Amino acid sequence: MPRSRNSGQSNASVAIFATILIIAGVVAVLAVSNEFKKATTPPSMRNAIPSSVTGGAGPYASGTLLLVNDSAMTLMRLDATSERVTADQFTARFAGAHLPTEGANVANGSKVYFALAGVTSTGSVSPDGARTVQLSVDKNNTTALSVVRGNEKPQLIVLRDSSGHAFQNVSLLGWLTNNSIALAGAVGETSAVYAVSIDGAINVLAPMAPSALWGDARGGFAWYATAVMGEGIESSPHGPSELHRISPDGKDVLVARDELRVFQSVIAGTDGVFAATTDDGKSFFQDAADVGTKVMLGALRPLLFLPGGDLVVRDGYDIALYNESTRTSRKLGTLPEGEVHVFFLP
């Protein structure tokens, strides 16, 4: 026998009322559960960063940025909260943390590392933080590398080729691996990029172009940029400029070229991604495996790549995260004044 319309409405009302009661019960249980968690969670953990933070530019890995200038240290979390800390507070909260120069946005970021570690020396820190290296000389005034592990006695690697000729005009580029250092130098009239193992072995990676302007070691590769030198002493270098990447097996690859501007700096991420800045203040990033395809960043200044691939950038007076997939950025906070060194603390 078919139900009447009024009977159906009555049953529907009962069902809706029962559903409301069930939902209310679930909400009450969740509320009690949350209050229980708050009561049993230590205060230091209540504001912990979740395993992932989603912002306007997409998902980001958890972690904290350490911003250091001449007068202050700032912990800037990826959820856009921040706090100033003293060196003692940082040491207490991040005991054992190392700050590899790979994560610094400037070449002398190693000075910040040493300052925090209480070491007076300067140089470049290996990716695992175990060793430091700096240029030195031996008793015969021959250029050498001084490699130090912890508080051990410095290990001196004298820079001579297989025929005993001393290296000249040496520039320390940085670490290729935890056990290998990249440098540029000349023997006679021949300039090249070398890999120096901590056991003392020295190998030529690739010739260095005579028009090379600067070199660096980032992301397990050696990098250098070329430019056309000005005719006079006060004339600045100009384009065309090339950016080269040298792999540990000695392969020299031209990854970018600019006809007008000069490449001033490069930072490297994983899987061949890198970002570069030219002398007009504009930046771009690209995958080194896809030479010629640039993603222009405009006035955004790349500082470092996070492990997940996102890019920390300077946006005027702000620091932000740029997401490669969405091509958008999310502000984290305001940069401290002056020259700022940026590190990532997992």
pTM strictly above 0.85: no
Q: Is 76 helix (H, G, I), strand (E, B) or coil?
A: strand
- The confidence band for 67, taking pLDDT boundaries of 50, 70 and 90, is confident
The residue ranking higher by pLDDT, 102 or 187, is: 187
Report pLDDT for 29.
35
The residue ranking higher by pLDDT, 314 or 269, is: 314
Token duo for residue 228: 């056309």
Residue 162 has a CB neighbour count (10 Å cut-off) of 9
Parent domain of 191:
110-208
7 belongs to a structural domain: no
133 belongs to a structural domain: yes
The Cα 134–Cα 146 span in angstroms is 5
336 belongs to a structural domain: no
Number of domains in the chain: 1
142 belongs to a structural domain: yes
What type of residue sits at position 160? R
242 belongs to a structural domain: no
The residue ranking higher by pLDDT, 64 or 88, is: 64
319 belongs to a structural domain: no
- The confidence band for 23, taking pLDDT boundaries of 50, 70 and 90, is very low
DSSP 324-339: TTTTEEEEEEEPPSSS
The residue ranking higher by pLDDT, 83 or 53, is: 83
Q: Comparing 26-30, 58-62, 183-187, which segment has the lowest mean pLDDT?
A: 26-30
User: Sign of torsion, CA 130 312 247 221?
Assistant: negative
Report pLDDT for 1.
34
- The confidence band for 117, taking pLDDT boundaries of 50, 70 and 90, is very low
- Please provide the average confidence, as pLDDT, over all residues in the chain: 75
Report pLDDT for 290.
62
138 belongs to a structural domain: yes
104 belongs to a structural domain: no
| Close Cβ partners of 18 (under 8 Å, ≥ 6 residues apart) | none
Q: Comparing 4-18, 30-44, 310-324, which segment has the lowest mean pLDDT?
A: 30-44
Q: Which residues pair with 218 in a beta bridge?
A: 221
Span 273-332, pLDDT tens digits: 899 999 998 999 887 566 557 889 988 999 888 877 788 999 988 999 998 778 888 999
- The confidence band for 149, taking pLDDT boundaries of 50, 70 and 90, is confident
